[in-house]
Amino acid sequence: MTALDPALAPRELAPGLVIRQLTPPLKLSDFKLIAFDMDSTLINIECVDEIADEAGRKAEVAAITEAAMRGEIEDYKESLRQRVALLKGVTLGHLEHVYNERLQLNPGVEQLVAACQAAGLKTLLVSGGFTFFAERIRQRLKLDFARSNLLEWDGDALTGRMVDQSWGDICDGEQKRQTVLDVASLLGISPKQCIAVGDGSNDLPMMRAVGLSVAFHAKPRVRGEAKVAINEGGLDRLLEVFQG
């Protein structure tokens, strides 16, 4: 077995910023697409948990979310169906309240997105969360593409189900990976020219498929695999990897 080059071994580039299999500085313009998870990555909350709180069911839903993000639940789709079923009867007003009163962009998000756009990268939001929030975040950050799950409504109340879309039923880890690859193909670029940023185990498939994987305040399993792990500070700390 060939020994790993010491320069490529895991090391702390700066406090709270760990890199592995990388020799900075990299060149941001060498990449052409950056894909972001949404919940707990671009934004500060897990939307499904906060919607459940509006229905008085947060503890039950949050426990399933935490287990799913840690990779303790193998069937992500089923875990999401279970959580969404508990949201039956939640109103549009409740979702508006979550967006307006609870949801915030995470520190450094706007700075990182602006830097990537200035360097010519296309931007993709790909989420196991919901279109109600994802489309608003896409517009707010002027992202190029977004894919997420569509909640089903009966009037202004949730039915507890999701709606199948042209690409499939639920945006799980495999769908995230396929979406990144599909957008890369659309752009005529290699997966190695892509960056994927996430925090949970359902982000690992897309992170493994690209040239640069980034874990943001992530679960241990995700931190352990990512080429960049931001454990302290904002998402814009990724830019330190690209500085001389």
DSSP string, 18-50: EE-S--SPP-GGG--EEEE-TBTTTBSS-HHHH
From the list 39, 53, 203, 236, the catalytic residue is 39
Q: Would you give the end-to-end CA distance of the chain in angstroms?
A: 32
What's the order of all strands across the beta sheet hosting 228-230? 11-14, 17-19, 228-230, 212-216, 194-198, 33-36, 122-130, 145-154, 157-163
Q: Is residue 149 a contact partner of residue 169, using CB atoms and an 8 Å limit?
A: no
Active site residue 172: no
From the list 30, 37, 144, 172, the catalytic residue is 37
Residue 57 and residue 12: Cα distance in Å, rounded? 40
Active site residue 182: no
Residues involved in catalysis:
37, 39
